Amino acid sequence: MPIGRITRLVLTPTAIVVGLAFLAYSVLRALDGFAGPPQSLTYILSPDGRLKAVTALEAGGGGIPPYCIKSISVVSAGASDQDAAQEQFLVFAGDCDSRPVVEWLSNTGLRITFSLNHRAANPNRFSLKGRDMSGMVTVAFVVTE
């Protein structure tokens, strides 16, 4: 058997397997947009200073497949960044184009205003919760276009 034919017999299946593995990784990464650590966190304390709303920005994926997620959690003022990143504390998660704005209305009332328009990359990826994990904070949502 010539060496060129042997090389093709070995390299062609290897290239196919590597290509399929990369494709599978890309699909899984796209489906799991909340997986990475946030690149930035901002905090807004409640009027009495006992709670904080934490806005996290996650972006990445490069060109295959890019993603950008903004999420908002409600935690006690002394909670760590790791606590705030836990899914159980989330009250909002959505595409970065939604541009969420957080405002405390009272010690136990939070309003999140966000845009849901043609720029939102995937409107099915939004998550909204009307109460925080403790059940003490009521979250109101205002949707704009």
Q: What is the dihedral of CA 48, 56, 96, 88, to 10 degrees?
A: -80
Q: What is the pLDDT of residue 83?
A: 87
Question: Rounded CA gap, 139 and 80, in Å?
Answer: 21
Q: Tally the C-alpha atoms within 13 A of residue 65's C-alpha that lie toward its C-beta.
A: 14
Sheet containing strand 40-45, strands side by side: 40-45, 51-60, 67-76, 90-95, 127-128
Spatial neighbors of 19 by CB under 8 A, at least 6 apart, are none
pLDDT at 34: 46
User: How many alpha carbons lie under 13 Å from residue 119 in its C-beta half-sphere?
Assistant: 9
pLDDT digits (tens, 9 = 90+) for 16-70: 655 555 555 555 555 554 445 567 889 999 999 999 999 998 887 766 667 788 9
- pLDDT (0 to 100) of residue 33: 45
pLDDT reading at 99 higher than 80: yes
